[in-house]
Amino acid sequence: MKNMITLTKALAFSLIVVVTMSSGVANVSHEDLVKIVNDQAKQIEQLKESRNDEIVSVVEEINEENSNPFGNIDIHGFISQGYMKSWNNNHLPNSKDGTFELNEIGINFSTQITENLRAGMQFFSRDFGDMGNHDIVVDWAFIDYLYDDALGFRVGKMKLPYGLYNETRDIDMLRTSIFLPKSIYDDSLRDLYVAIQGIGIYGNIDLGGMGDGSYSAQWGKNNYNTNEGLAKNYSDVGFLEVDDVSLGYMYNQQYIWNTPLDGLRLAATINVFDDLAATGPIVTDEYAMLGFAPGNYSEVVLNHFTRVIYSLEYTIDNLVLMGEYTKFEGDYVMNAENSFVPDLIALNEGPFNTGGWYTGASYRFNDLFEAGIYYSTTYDSDNKNNNDENVAISGRFDLNSNWIFKVEYQWIQGTRGLFASDNPEGYDEDEDSHMVALKTTISF
| Measured distance CA(124)–CA(35) in Å, rounded | 72
- Are the C-beta atoms of 324 and 344 separated by less than 8 Å? no
Strands (DSSP E) contained in 259-296 are: 264-281
Alpha carbon 122 to its chain centroid, in Å, reads 12
Only segment of 9-17, 172-180, 224-232, 424-432 that touches another protein (CB under 8 A): 172-180
Query: Residue 399 carries which side chain, given as an amino acid letter?
Result: L
Q: Does 167 bind another protein (CB under 8 A)?
A: yes
Q: Does 402 bind another protein (CB under 8 A)?
A: no
- Nearer residue to another protein within complex by CB, 17 or 62: 62
CA distances (Å), 262 to each of 15, 257, 265, 318, in order?
Answer: 56, 12, 9, 13
| Measured distance CA(421)–CA(233) in Å, rounded | 10
Residue (of 413, 371, 370) closest to 391 by Cα position: 413
Q: Does 118 bind another protein (CB under 8 A)?
A: yes
Q: Does 400 bind another protein (CB under 8 A)?
A: no
CA angle 298, 243, 194 (to 5 degrees): 115
| Measured distance CA(28)–CA(48) in Å, rounded | 29
Task: Map residues 339-368 to x or -, x wherever contact with another protein holds by CB under 8 A.
Answer: -------------------------x--x-
| Measured distance CA(126)–CA(132) in Å, rounded | 5
Task: Map residues 62-91 to x or -, x wherever contact with another protein holds by CB under 8 A.
Answer: x--xx-------x-x-x-------------
Only segment of 19-27, 113-121, 289-297, 410-418 that touches another protein (CB under 8 A): 113-121
Residue (of 99, 239, 106) closest to 169 by Cα position: 106
The residue from 82, 93, 120, 355 that contacts another protein (CB under 8 A) is 120
Nearest-approach distance from CB 209 to another protein, in angstroms: 9
The residue from 31, 97, 148, 430 that contacts another protein (CB under 8 A) is 148
Query: Residue 113 carries which side chain, given as an amino acid letter?
Result: I
Q: Does 49 bind another protein (CB under 8 A)?
A: no
Find all residues with CB under 8 Å of 433, minimum gap 6, and list them: 86, 87, 88, 89, 91, 410, 411, 412, 413
Interface with another protein (CB under 8 A), residue total: 52
The residue from 40, 88, 94, 110 that contacts another protein (CB under 8 A) is 110
Nearest-approach distance from CB 295 to another protein, in angstroms: 43
- Nearer residue to another protein within complex by CB, 231 or 320: 320
Q: Does 125 bind another protein (CB under 8 A)?
A: no
Helices (H), 24-75: 30-65
| Measured distance CA(116)–CA(298) in Å, rounded | 48
Only segment of 25-33, 51-59, 303-311, 425-433 that touches another protein (CB under 8 A): 51-59
Q: Does 108 bind another protein (CB under 8 A)?
A: yes
Nearest-approach distance from CB 72 to another protein, in angstroms: 10
Binding site for another protein (CB under 8 A): 1, 51, 55, 58-59, 61-62, 65-66, 74, 76, 78, 106, 108, 110, 112, 115, 118, 120-122, 140-142, 144, 146, 148-149, 158-159, 167-168, 171, 173-175, 204, 206, 212, 214, 262-263, 315, 317-318, 320, 364, 367, 370, 398, 401, 443
